[in-house]
Chain A
Amino acid sequence: MEKEQKHHKEKSTGNISRRTMIGGAVTAAIIPVISSFTKYIQAGVPIPSPAIDDPTKKIGPGPGKLGKRSTFEQPVKKPSDISSRSPLQDFYSTITPSDLHYERHHAGIPFIDPSQYELLIHGMVERPMKFNLADLKRFPSFTRICFLECSGNFRTGKEELTPQDILGLTSQSEWTGVLLSTLLREVGVSDKASWLIAEGSDAAVMTRSIPIKKALDDAIIAYGQNGEAIRPEQGYPARLLLPGWEGNTSVKWIRRIEITDQPYMTREETAKYTYPVNGKIRMFSFEMDARSIITFPSYPQKVEKGWIEIRGIAWTGRGKIIKVEVSTDAGKTWNAAKLQEPVLDKAHTYFKYLWQWKGDATEILSRAVDETGYTQPRLKQLVDARGTDLGGYHLNPVTAWQIKNDGSVLFKPEAWK
């Protein structure tokens, strides 16, 4: 944003540098039409070639204090009033750059002074305690990679949707912090405790009830994201992180954990984050079900006849992805895709499938299989199992892209009502 504003300013004063002019021209030509990803695999859309001086004849800028993206690369999140979606189609692999991590918050991003930050743990404990940020960082640390995903992560309804539009409320980082179990050991948890209440210090004072088993299994109080301090949008200076669970339970800006023996039935686990299932309302769906999406090729890209490496991501909250299958004939036959190593627990897994497109209209699809033996369902299977009043949470149907005769790629929306 800052860069864009600067450009405008320069333009308005008539003082346009060559660098600005080049960057602006290329950006305008690429962004609405095609992602930068495509130019490496397809030459279908011509990339404007501005007159760049021979780089071997001119010394470039020297070392700087902060890196920045190439002027030619401008991936952006897509914000709405309540969330912001990751540009899945622009990623080459599974780590989401921190500034492109999806956002979902319930009353904005709080401004928290790390020197004032404290985490309170109380309730059914021997000794209620407060930990400041320095305290948290002194404990034995723990680092892992895992995805986060909003449980409302699915949009459909029209053909002109990008992967970012359809499933952009998921991202992946390497997280560092202290295991919550380490802190619970410090306060001495009662053997009668079975739940904990996690509460944030945003203006919604967002609160969720979490079974204590998850806290002992793999919960983290995270203060690091991709090697640096966690971003404000992601919970700075510290957040709860529950690998594989619906994003809302990983309470950001966490300030209080109450150890208890029952769920408190907060608004976010009753009125929200619940969904109709055959006339009932299902609550406490914690694990994210296995799913996948092809991120290349995808709308609004255009493909050419010949070899195409179909690429995408698959993930599950219930462990590891063991298989991803791709169909290039509208779901009639399925073939195993190649999984990019390492395949990690509760993590985005990159898959690839080589395909020779001969120019006929078809549909391409992917489906994920996780280590519990669960196969990502078709929408019809979900409707058959839950009824037509599906709601918007925990919907993980197989998604399809239509490949048209002219090589254009469109999402295939499916109706269920």
Chain B
Amino acid sequence: MKTGKKIKLANMPGRLCVVIAAGLMLIGLMAANNGVLNSKNQPLLKDTTQWPATFGFGRTATVDEIAKWDISIRPDGKGLPAGDGDATKGATIYALKCAPCHGVDGKEIPGIKLPAPALVSDTAAKSKPKTIGNYWPYATTLFDYVRRAMPYNLPGSLTDNEVYSVTAYLLSANKIIQPGAVLNAQSLPKIIMPAKKLFVVDDRKGGAEVK
């Protein structure tokens, strides 16, 4: 066990930085590791002192390669593509590609188990079930998720304009935007979701208290 722990700690870059500070390694390493790693103040461990500044494994990724995979959308809208859509167009796409699993109007039907969750409800926090209207804190998440993972049987098959339109339809059905609103990279991140005010970050750190 002791040995295992030692190896584990030894491989942590924080230790490495102390090594650097002690002048035991090349100055060049400092550039390779920079601030984040230097911010950890941990004791010297021997195992990484033999490590080179860089192992030289792997290769630089090209701009095109990054662009191809970098599909994440940030809450402030970074990552949103050009294009736009509205709820009218979205309703048609929804009926064709989403309704078979999520129901005709996205609402829970008593007594029927849909293959996928209900998406539409009123926006009151206490209402059931959990939907975009009462539980999703960011509208950007909707675009991000639909584009990467939906429709379930053909993920990633919608165009950016179609994703904007489906997003608009779902936000409109949940009475978060007006039916005629046009969504694009500028308007989508400005939407304040009703559930956002409810979200709190877990602050538990262990210890005796049950929270």
Contact = CB atoms under 8 A, between A and B. Distances in A.
Whether chain B is bound by chain A comes out as yes
Interface in B62-94: 65-66, 69-75
B60 A374 contact: no
Interface residues of B, number: 65
A142 interface: yes
Given A203-B149, A271-B135, A342-B1, A284 B70 contact: no
A274 interface: yes
Nearest to A206: B149
Contact of B11 (A181, A342, A377): A181
A128 B60 contact: yes
Interface in A248-280: 255-256, 258, 260, 262, 264-267, 270-271, 274, 277, 279-280
Contacts of A197: 72
Contacts of A191: 34-36, 38-39
A232 to B, nearest CB: 18
A144 B8 contact: yes
B184 interface: no
Nearest to A275: B202
A381 B12 CA distance: 38
Contact of A270 (B4, B11, B72, B141): B141
Query: Contact size class for A?
Result: 35 or more
B154 to A, nearest CB: 9
Main secondary structure of the interface of A (DSSP, over half): mixed
B175 interface: no
A181 B206 contact: no
B9 to A, nearest CB: 10
A204 B148 contact: yes
Contacts of B72: 197, 199, 207, 258, 264, 266
Interface stretch (A15-23, A58-66, A129-137): A129-137
Interface stretch (A30-38, A92-100, A119-127, A325-333): A119-127
Contacts of A156: none
Given A128-B60, A191-B36, A373-B207, A283 B71 contact: no
Interface in A282-298: 282-287
B145 A189 contact: no
A120 B66 contact: yes
Interface string B165-195: 0000000000000000000000000000001
Contact of A382 (B35, B136, B208, B210): B210
B36 A135 contact: no
A185 B33 contact: yes
Given A205-B71, A258-B70, A190 B14 contact: no
A184 B195 contact: no
Given A191-B35, A381-B210, A267 B141 contact: yes
Interface stretch (A68-76, A210-218, A351-359, A405-413): A210-218
A186 B57 contact: yes
Nearest to A269: B141
A32 to B, nearest CB: 27
B146 to A, nearest CB: 9
A375 interface: yes
B58 A185 contact: no
Contacts of A264: 72-75, 144
A283 B32 contact: no
A336 B148 CA distance: 49
A190 B11 contact: no
Given A144-B4, A282-B200, A283-B201, 20 more contacts: A107-B149, A120-B66, A121-B61, A128-B60, A139-B55, A144-B8, A188-B34, A191-B38, A216-B14, A217-B12, A265-B138, A267-B141, A267-B145, A279-B125, A280-B200, A282-B202, A285-B202, A372-B207, A374-B207, A381-B210
Interface of A: 106-107, 120-122, 126-132, 135-136, 138-140, 142, 144, 179, 181-182, 184-186, 188-193, 197, 199, 203-205, 207, 212, 216-218, 255-256, 258, 260, 262, 264-267, 270-271, 274, 277, 279-287, 318-319, 342, 344, 370, 372-375, 377, 381-382, 384-386
12 contacts: A140-B11, A181-B12, A181-B13, A189-B36, A191-B36, A217-B12, A264-B75, A265-B141, A270-B199, A279-B125, A284-B202, A319-B206
